[in-house]
Amino acid sequence: MWKAVVVVCSLTAPDTCETWIDAIGPSKNRDQCISRALEMNAHAFTHLRDYKGEPAWKGKSYRCDKLPNGAL
């Protein structure tokens, strides 16, 4: 099982970032985790316009963490 983690940052204030952990997952394999991370990035760009007074946010980086056996 894999957990997607995405860092999203403001386009106007690049030092203003948040870390998002996938609330839908975990994914069964690394490829699915990467797909989910890219989906989370797309949501940040399209759904967070004018969020917190910033014009737009965008994903800066992502990672997929392998969970220990039995962990969710």
Phi, psi of 56, deg, nearest 5: -165, 155
Q: Which domain holds residue 42?
A: 2-66
Confidence of residue 13 (pLDDT cuts 50, 70, 90): confident
Q: Is 55 a domain residue?
A: yes
The neighbouring-strand residues paired with 3 are 65
Residue 36 one-letter amino acid: R
| Three-state secondary-structure class, residue 51 | helix
Task: Report yes or no on 72 lying in a domain.
Answer: no
Structurally, the chain folds into a number of domains equal to: 1
Q: What are the backbone dihedrals phi and psi of residue 61, each rounded to the nearest 5 degrees, phi first?
A: -160, 165
What is the mean pLDDT of the segment spanning 49-71? 74
The predicted-structure confidence for 16-49, as pLDDT tens digits, reads as follows 888 999 999 799 999 999 999 999 888 777 666 6
